[in-house]
Chain A
Amino acid sequence: MTLHKGHKEEFNYIEYFFDSTMSTVLVFLLLTLSPYIFGMEIFKPYRDALSDFRVTDIGFSKIVEPELVLGDTSILIINIYGLKNNQLAWLIKNLSENKPKAIGINKILNQEDSFSDSALASVLAETKNIVLSNELAYNPKTSRFDVILKSDDMFSDQCSSGFTNLLFDKDKRYSTVREFFPYYKIGHSNLLAFPVQIVLYSNPESAKRFLLSNEIPETINWENYRRYASISDFKDIVRTPEILNSARGKIVLLGTYDPENDPNKNPYRLNDKYFTPLNPNYAGRAYPDMYEIDIHANIISMILHENFLYLVPDWLNFIISFIFCYLTMMLYIFIKKKIDAWYELLTVFIFVILSIIILFITIYSFHVYKIDLQLNVCLLAIAISSPVFEAYFRSVKPITTQFLKNFSGRKNYER
C-alpha cells in the first residue's frame, strides 16, 4: 500500500496494520535515540529542563486555587532560624508542657557552649516524642548515600531521628522535588525519613499502613499546600508564650521557615529552599519556592490523611503511549487513503486536538483521581508522529522495498 497522491487503492488490511506498527516503532526508536543525539555536554541544560518538566505542574501552579485548598490544622510550624541552643531548649520545654503529639526538629544540632548544650540535652532527654533530623551524605566508595550526618551525640543519643534528604541523585539547584524516599537501606537496617518517623510517633497506625503499602520513592501530593493553621515565629512566642497553647495535640515542626515567598521583600538563602510543583513559574527561570520544613509538613499531611497519589508504572505508560501513537498512525493512513487532499491539514488539526486531550486527561486524572499518568512520552510521540509517518511512507518504505527487490532479484540471478 504505497501512498502516492491521486492514487486510490484497495485497502490491504495486513499492510495497513504492518505499516501502522512500523511507523509507530520508528517513532519510539527516534525517541529512544534522541538523548544520544542531544548527548553533548553543552545541551545538558536543555535535557535537564525537559526532564524536569511535568504537565501536572500546570495544575498545581496555575489551575488549582490555593485559597480553595483547605489547610492542615494538625501541624504547627515554628521558625527557629538563628536560634541558639539555650533558646531552643526554652522553646522545647514550653512546647512539651502543652503535650504536642510529636516535635520534629529540622536542624542538625551542634555544640555551642556548655551551659546551653547541657540545657538542651536535658530538655531533649526529658521530652518524649522528639524526632531529630539527619542527613545522608554520598559515599564515593560505595556509590550510595550511606554516611549519616547527625547531631552531636549528647543530643542525638537521647532521641530518635529521621533523614531529611529530598533529592538523592539530583542537584537541588536545578531539580524539582516531586517524591521522597520513606526509608533508605543502610547495611541491614532501614532508616526512616524524618516525616515518616514523626508520623510513627504521632499516628503510628497511619505510618504503619503507609510503610506497608507505599512505593519507593513515593510521589508527594501537594494538595495540603502550606495553609497550616498557625505558623509562628520565635520572636512572637517570646512576646506571647500563650501562642504555644495551640500546640496541644498537634505535630510541631521546628525549622527554617517563612510563610512569605517574595525573594526580594523577604530574602532567603537560595540554598535553603527547593523548587516544587507549586512554583508559579512551572517552566523556565524561577526562584526556589519552598523551605525543607514546609515540604516535610506536606508529606506528613499526606500520610496522616492517606491522601496519596498513584503513579502509573513505566511499562503501562509505555503501552498507553504506544497505543495512542499506533491509533494515530492508523488514522493518518486512513485519511491519506480516503481523503488525500485533506491529509496535511487534518494531521495538524489531529495533532493539536490530541495534545489538548492528553494535557486534559493528564491534569484531570491527576487532580481529580490522584493518578499520575505521566504522559510526557505520549505527547512527544504524537508531536513527531506526523513527520515520522511521512518519512516512513515517502522515503523509508519505498527505499527499503526497492532495496529488498534488488536484493532478491540479484539472489534469483545468482541462483
Chain B
Amino acid sequence: MKKIRFITVDNIITTLIIIVFLKFLPGFYNIDWLDPVQNFIQDLEINDIFFSHIRNQNNIQRDTNVILVNISFLNRKLIAEEINILNKYQPKAIGIDIFFRREFSDDMDKPLEDALSKVKNLVLVSNVLNFNDNKKRYENLEKSINKFNRFASSGFANFYIPNLSEDSLSRTTRRFSPKEHVLNFMEPSFPVRLSYIYDSTKTKKFLSRNNETEIINFKRNLSKYYVLDWKELFQKKDSLEFIRNKIILMGFLGPDTAQPFSMDIFFTPMNTQYVGKSHPDMYGVVVHANIISMILEQDFINFIPEDISILMVIFIIYLIMAVFRYLRYRFEELYETLGLFLLIGILVFYLFSSIYMMKWFNFSIELKLLIFVIIVTEIVSESYHGSLKPLSILGYQRFIKPFFDKFRKVRK
C-alpha cells in the first residue's frame, strides 16, 4: 500500500487556496446591501453561548462594591441634588457616565458646579477620538466643559468594537481597552480609573497584564447590583448608609429602571438571544460596572493572542486537508461521508472546548475563522483533487509538454 505523506504539495496548495479565499472574503461584502450579512458574520462568537446559557446566574452574587445610580433625563440641577445626597455618605469615588458638553444657564450649572466641587474622588467620562494609525495613538480627547471637569479626573468611556462603523451600534460589546495613548499622555478607561481609586493594588495587577484590549467578564446585569433609581434616591436620601466607601456609578438607566430604553444601551454576550434579532440588554454604565467588578474580583479572562490564533487556524486547515487527502486515497467509497463526519466532529469539538475552556479555566479560544474554514474546506479539497489538479495535469500534457518536447527537439 502506497504511503501517504503528511507534508505534500497538494496539502500546501489547498491550504493556500483557503487562506487566499479567507483573505478576500471580506471584499465580497463590500456590496452595500450585504452590509448586514457582514455585520452578522463579524459579530458571531461561540463564547457568547457560555455567557448567555451556560454560566449559572444563580451562582453569581450581587457585587456590593459598586452602586448604580440612575440619572434618567434629570436636568443639571437635579443631578446636583443627587450628587449632594450621595456625597453626604462619603463614598470612595463617584463616576459620572454622561458628558456636560455645553454651558447652560446659571440656575442649572451653578448647583452642579458646587456639588461636583465637594466630591473627594470624582471621575468624569472622556471620549478618545481620531486614531492615528501611523502614530498608534489617538489625537483628540473629548471631555466635559472645564467648569465641571476641573474638579474631576477623567477616563474614556469608549468600548472596543472591532471594525468600527456606523453599524457598530448593532454589534456586541465584548472587549474594552484598559488605557490608550492620547497625544503625549496616557488616558485610562473610565472603569479602570475608578477601580484604581478604590483598590490601586488590584488595578495595578490588572494593568500589568499589559493587554491592548481585555475581554470583559460579563457576570451581572441590573439585578446583580444595588441600583438606586432617581425617585428612590430622593425618597431614601436619609437612609443610604450602605453606600459609604463604595464606588458610585451614575449614568443613564432609562426614565425608570423597569423598562429598557434605546439610549446608551448595548448588546452584550449575556443577551439570552446571543445571535440574530434581539433587544440590546445592558446599559453602558452597567458595562462599566462589570469591568470594575472584574478588576476588583481579579477574575480575568485569558485569551489566545490574535497572531497565534491565526497560526492555529492555518495549522487546522492544513490538518483537515491532510486528513481529507488520506481519506480520499485510503477509503475512496467512504470518503465523502467520513469527510462530512470529520467536519461535524471538528465543529462540535470546537464548540464544546470553547465553552468549557471558558467555564473551567476562564480561557477564551475564539478561533473566529474556523467556522468558515469548516464550510469551505471540503469544497476546496474536492475542487482541487477532483478538477483543478487533473485538469492542470491534462493541460500540461496536452499543451505545455508537447511545446517543450518540440523545443528540445529543435535544440538537438
Contact = CB atoms under 8 A, between A and B. Distances in A.
A187 to B, nearest CB: 34
A29 interface: no
Contacts of B390: 341
B170 A285 contact: yes
B351 to A, nearest CB: 9
Of listed B169, B171, B267, B279, residue having the most chain A CB within 10 A: B279
Given A271-B259, A342-B387, A344-B386, A62 B33 contact: yes
A228 interface: no
B25 interface: no
Interface of B: 32-33, 35-37, 39-40, 43, 49, 52-54, 167, 169-172, 259-265, 267, 272-280, 332-337, 340, 378-379, 382-388, 390-391, 394
A108 interface: no
Given A284-B170, A284-B276, A286-B170, 16 more contacts: A45-B276, A45-B278, A62-B32, A174-B277, A174-B278, A175-B277, A269-B261, A270-B261, A275-B277, A281-B39, A283-B276, A285-B170, A285-B267, A345-B387, A390-B382, A395-B336
The 5 closest A-B pairs by CB, nearest first: A49-B276, A284-B40, A344-B386, A62-B33, A263-B262
A313 interface: no
Given A42-B53, A48-B276, A173-B273, A282 B36 contact: yes
Contact of B170 (A50, A287, A394, A396): A287
Interface residues of A, number: 52
Contacts of A53: 276
Given A42-B49, A271-B259, A285-B170, A391 B278 contact: no
Contacts of B394: 341
B275 to A, nearest CB: 5
A344 B382 contact: yes
A288 to B, nearest CB: 7
A134 interface: no
A331 to B, nearest CB: 16
Nearest to B355: A42
Contacts of B273: 45, 48-49, 173-174
Contacts of B340: 387, 391
A374 interface: no
A190 interface: no
Interface of A: 5, 41-42, 45-46, 48-50, 52-53, 58, 61-63, 173-176, 263-264, 267-271, 275, 280-288, 341-348, 386-387, 390-391, 394-396, 398-399
A271 B256 CA distance: 14
Contacts of B335: 394-395
Contact of A49 (B54, B275, B334): B275
Contact of B261 (A267, A285, A390): A267
Contacts of A61: 33, 36
A243 to B, nearest CB: 27
Contacts of A345: 383, 386-388, 391
Given A173-B273, A267-B262, A285-B171, A394 B336 contact: yes
Q: Counting chain A CB atoms within 10 Å of each CB, which of B167, B273, B385 scores highest?
A: B273
B53 A268 contact: no
Contact of B278 (A46, A280, A285): A285
A5 B267 CA distance: 51
Contact of A395 (B40, B259, B334, B388): B334
Contacts of B262: 263-264, 267-270, 287
Contacts of A63: 33
B125 to A, nearest CB: 15
A387 B336 contact: yes
A288 B279 contact: yes
Contacts of B172: 285
A347 B36 CA distance: 27
27 contacts: A45-B275, A49-B275, A49-B277, A52-B276, A61-B33, A62-B32, A62-B35, A173-B278, A173-B279, A176-B277, A264-B169, A269-B261, A270-B279, A270-B280, A271-B260, A280-B36, A283-B276, A284-B43, A284-B277, A285-B43, A343-B387, A344-B385, A345-B388, A348-B383, A391-B340, A394-B332, A394-B337
